[in-house]
Amino acid sequence: MRTRSSCRLIAVCLWLAAGAAAFAQQGFYLRPNDTVVFYGDSITDQRLYTTFVETFTLTRYPGLPVRFVHSGWGGDRVTGGGGGPVDERLRRDVIAYRPTVMTIMLGMNDGRVRAFDEAVFKTFADGYEHILQFMKAAAPGLRMTLIQPSPCDDVTRAPNFEGGYNAVLVRYGQFVKELAARNGHATADLNTAVVAALRKARAADPDGAQRIIPDRVHPGPGGHLLMAAELLKAWGAGPTVTSVEIDAAALRPGRVENAEVSGLARGNGISWTQKDRALPMPVNLQDPPTALAVRSSDFTERLNQQSLRVTGLAQGSWVLKINGTTVGSYTAGQLASGINLAELPTPMLKQAAGVHALTLKRTSVHQIRWRQLQMALQEDNLPRMASILDNLDALDDELAARQRAAAQPAACFYELIPR
């Protein structure tokens, strides 16, 4: 006879196997049980584009167990920096976590914020190649994504010198792209699309556009969201959270993608139960620079579509409720054309925001463990330090488990009621 615990284990194994097949079909770069280490300078150290990528993965692929480690260090170059020489950084802050996936974003400091200099560039090129060789020897099966440097904002302000520093970063990025191709690695361009969004934002709101990258180098949340989007697109993430069509006249579901619809009923309007297989990406559109960045980009169209389309309704206005909470009021024509729930205050969005809150808590625990304890006290020979670090690793694991649990979609009750 099977015990209750063995049945649970079998169920978990089946769930993971089904999840692995789904991810393979969707073409997403990450795989079950991957460990991803984000490596870079202060822009990675901000823990913004990296935490957006983490939360997106959790909410879009809630059956995909992936571990994320944030290892950015402000001021880093290909030779290292405040955290030590590059080989020390790689051993301590990357290899120690046994990664299966590593991203590298360097270059902002390497170009030294001046016009292109061949000798300076050679240091960057040689140093980058050394990193790849070092990691290949240390972790032969490692999958790497080389990130072309994010922009210096020469769009919303005049460049500091002729041609501007971003032109230098673009040149560095082209080298990174070519280096990735030569070595069989993936690449992600975090410059081109962000610059295009800055241009569009400047045309719409010149003052607001400057707040997307406030100091020209370190983006705010809106800029980081666009950067995360480019990495996710490079990894094969698609637009669809869910897509559901309902024929209200025939009282039956039409095309349904990444969700299950049941219990369609007619009363004072129509109602149904919907169980999604993903959550929307939580985006703080109450933050003006973030809202401007989203409007100036293809983020919503390319990565955050949670479509609901209802045909066959009587003409007039209809109130949409989910779990008893009013989401909005729409005409029959708007509902027939389709609305994007990802941009609306739904219970699903609230749930996803809770996942992101846990992402931020978990990464803060890791940051304290790494930078404030492991690094700051490494010379003090404290007998209890090893056990304290082990306990913080266990806390990290506990928060990661809560993230995954919080990201599991729940069945929701939908109602469309004539207004």
**CB 35 within 8 Å of CB 99:** yes
Looking at the structure, do residues 144 and 112 belong to the same domain, yes or no? yes
How many domains in the chain?
2
Looking at the structure, do residues 276 and 375 belong to the same domain, yes or no? yes
What is the rounded distance in angstroms from the CA atom of residue 73 to the CA atom of residue 19?
34
Range of the domain at 311: 239-419
Looking at the structure, do residues 189 and 243 belong to the same domain, yes or no? no
Per DSSP, what are the bridge partners of residue 203?
A: none
pLDDT of residue 298: 98
End-of-domain residue from the set 183, 205, 237? 237
Beta strands in 97-183 (DSSP E): 101-105, 143-148
3 state DSSP class of 7: helix
Per DSSP, what are the bridge partners of residue 67?
A: 35
Residue numbers in the chain where pLDDT is lower than 50: 1-25
In this predicted model, what pLDDT tens digit does every residue of 189-227 receive, in sequence order? 999 999 999 999 999 999 999 999 999 999 999 999 999
Going by C-alpha positions, the residue among 274, 273, 275, 279 that lies closest to residue 241 is 279
Residue 229's CB is within 10 A of a number of other CB atoms, namely: 29
End-of-domain residue from the set 179, 212, 237? 237
Structure tokens at 180: 């990735």
pLDDT of residue 26: 61
Looking at the structure, do residues 279 and 160 belong to the same domain, yes or no? no
pLDDT of residue 304: 98
Looking at the structure, do residues 316 and 326 belong to the same domain, yes or no? yes
Looking at the structure, do residues 131 and 203 belong to the same domain, yes or no? yes
pLDDT of residue 215: 98
End-of-domain residue from the set 210, 237, 264? 237
pLDDT of residue 232: 98
Looking at the structure, do residues 412 and 326 belong to the same domain, yes or no? yes
> Residues 243-275, buried b or exposed e (16+ Cβ, 10 A)?
bbbbbbeeeebeeeebbebeebeeeebbbbebe
Q: pTM for the whole thing?
A: 0.93
Looking at the structure, do residues 57 and 16 belong to the same domain, yes or no? yes
Contacts of 47 (CB under 8 A, 6+ apart): 70, 72, 363, 367
In this predicted model, what pLDDT tens digit does every residue of 65-106 receive, in sequence order? 999 999 999 999 999 999 999 999 999 999 999 999 999 999
Looking at the structure, do residues 213 and 270 belong to the same domain, yes or no? no
**CB 188 within 8 Å of CB 147:** yes
Looking at the structure, do residues 137 and 280 belong to the same domain, yes or no? no
Query: Domain of 71: which CATH number?
Result: 3.40.50.1110
3 state DSSP class of 180: helix
pLDDT of residue 220: 98
Beta strands in 248-366 (DSSP E): 252-257, 259-267, 269-276, 305-311, 317-322, 325-331, 339-340
What is the rounded distance in angstroms from the CA atom of residue 348 to the CA atom of residue 358?
16
Give the end-to-end CA distance of the chain in Å, rounded to a whole number: 56
Looking at the structure, do residues 251 and 202 belong to the same domain, yes or no? no
Question: Helix 288-295 crosses helix 221-234 at what angle (to 10 degrees)?
Answer: 40
Looking at the structure, do residues 197 and 286 belong to the same domain, yes or no? no
Contacts of 397 (CB under 8 A, 6+ apart): none
pLDDT of residue 223: 98
